[in-house]
């Protein structure tokens, strides 16, 4: 579920420029093209972009090479997507550059589009659709380091952090429940990955989510990761029970029993300041990562909407692993 305090435009920006999304979505909700940037109707074959106009390049920062490296890191998982850097322009704000990209697909089945964003003076961030996003030749490096240092939830798969797939999820979120089959498939297809469940309870819309997250923390602490994933599956199966206070108690206690633990001991742990602090730290990591919704996957620092089709998610994981020099087989 989307946290209500975030604007929809920000979510669209994250999707369109982190570009871990359903390919067709790239063609929607983009700003209007500048007057000099033509947007052709959908062609019958691969589009041929017009030759860029030198007058559209009024600054050398960022370079065209850096922009192309950024787009390759972001878009390269999709072999059908092609683009042309159409403009790199100075703006009235010192050090801020406006970048315009023409975007198409090799099949010619989709209408060409224009993507625009502003690169900040540090050269490491961009602004698009009212959101701040990472930029550069290696745009996901900083968030990957943050994940490696701070994502401490229960995990399945490899103990190695070479390939980390982190699921930010809320036990009371119906979309998170629907995402679990994809997570199970990832565990089978990528046995060398470290697949982490990181609780992100959206308490403002899911009153029982934080309690469920605290129970999950204590189950993991007392029974380890294997017990946690049994507990998590049971909570998602009985998710409707989280709608009331009494139902929450019954649902969580039942899930604890299925995980082979004592409900009284887990409940006692979940009510401690330590458990609350652990959940707060989980929430802070999500917010520091600029996670806007649950469920969201993060693959070696790269956000991936969990609502994408499984084959698209798998394609992105394979591509990101290749970019990071990680063997998946």
**Domain range annotation of the chain:** 8-138, 143-323
Q: How far apart are CA 98 and CA 120, in angstroms?
A: 9
- CA distances in angstroms from 296 to 15, 176, 211, 308, listed in the order given: 11, 9, 20, 10
One-letter-per-residue 3-state SS of 14-34: HHHHHCCCCHHHHHCCCCCCC
Would strands 155-157 and 131-134 be described as parallel, antiparallel, or unpaired? unpaired
Strand partners, 152: none
Q: What is the pLDDT of residue 21?
A: 30
Mutual orientation of helices 273-288 and 209-237 as an angle, nearest 10°? Answer: 80
CB 218 within 8 A of CB 266: yes
Q: What is the pLDDT of residue 6?
A: 29
29 or 15: which leads in pLDDT: 15
Q: What is the pLDDT of residue 278?
A: 97
Q: Write down the CATH superfamily of domain 143-323.
A: Glutaredoxin (3.40.30.10)
119 or 109: which leads in pLDDT: 119
Collapse the DSSP code of 76 into the 3-class scheme (helix H, G, I; strand E, B; otherwise coil) and give the result.
coil
DSSP element (H, E) containing 71: helix 64-75
Strand partners, 134: 125
Residue 172 has pLDDT above 60, yes or no: yes
Q: How confident is the model at residue 31 (pLDDT cuts 50, 70, 90)?
A: very low
CB 197 within 8 A of CB 153: yes
In tens, the pLDDT along 187-222 reads 999 999 999 999 999 999 999 999 999 999 999 999
Q: What is the pLDDT of residue 325?
A: 95
Residue 39 has pLDDT above 50, yes or no: yes
Q: How far does CA 64 lie from the centroid of its chain? A: 26
86 or 43: which leads in pLDDT: 86
Would strands 131-134 and 125-128 be described as parallel, antiparallel, or unpaired? antiparallel
Q: How far apart are CA 289 and CA 306, in angstroms?
A: 16
Beta-carbon contacts of residue 328 (< 8 Å; ≥ 6 apart): 163, 190, 192, 193, 317, 318, 321
CB 102 within 8 A of CB 86: yes
Q: How far apart are CA 201 and CA 159, in angstroms?
A: 25
Q: How far apart are CA 6 and CA 41, in angstroms?
A: 34
DSSP element (H, E) containing 119: strand 113-119
Q: What is the pLDDT of residue 37?
A: 54
């Amino acid at each position: 579920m989307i946290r209500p305090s975030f604007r929809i435009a920000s979510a669209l920006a994250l999707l369109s420029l982190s570009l871990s999304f359903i390919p067709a979505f790239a063609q929607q909700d983009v700003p209007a093209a500048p007057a000099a940037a033509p947007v052709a109707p959908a062609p019958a074959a691969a589009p041929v972009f017009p030759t860029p106009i030198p007058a559209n390049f009024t600054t050398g920062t960022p370079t065209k090479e850096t922009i192309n490296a950024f787009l390759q890191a972001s878009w390269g998982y999709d072999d059908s997507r092609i683009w042309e850097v159409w403009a790199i322009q100075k703006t009235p704000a010192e050090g801020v550059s406006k970048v315009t990209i023409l975007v198409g697909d090799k099949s010619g089945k989709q209408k060409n589009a224009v993507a625009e964003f502003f690169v900040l003076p540090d050269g490491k961030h961009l602004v698009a659709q009212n959101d701040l996003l990472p930029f550069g030749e290696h745009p996901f490096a900083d968030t990957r380091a943050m994940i490696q240092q701070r994502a401490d939830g229960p995990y399945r798969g490899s103990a190695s952090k070479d390939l980390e797939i982190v699921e930010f999820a809320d036990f009371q979120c119906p979309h998170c429940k629907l995402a679990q089959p994809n997570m199970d498939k990832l565990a089978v297809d990528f046995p060398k990955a470290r697949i982490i469940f990181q609780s992100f309870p959206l308490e403002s819309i899911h009153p029982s989510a934080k309690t469920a997250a605290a129970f999950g923390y204590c189950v993991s602490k007392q029974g380890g990761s294997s017990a946690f994933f049994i507990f998590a599956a049971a909570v998602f199966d009985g998710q409707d029970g989280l709608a009331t206070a009494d139902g929450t108690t019954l649902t969580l206690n039942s899930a604890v029993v299925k995980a082979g633990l004592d409900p009284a001991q887990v409940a006692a742990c979940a009510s401690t300041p330590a458990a609350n602090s652990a959940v707060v730290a989980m929430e802070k990591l999500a917010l520091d990562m600029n996670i806007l919704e649950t469920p969201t996957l993060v693959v070696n620092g790269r956000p991936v909407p969990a609502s994408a089709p499984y084959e698209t998610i798998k394609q992105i994981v394979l591509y990101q692993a290749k970019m990071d020099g990680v063997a998946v087989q």
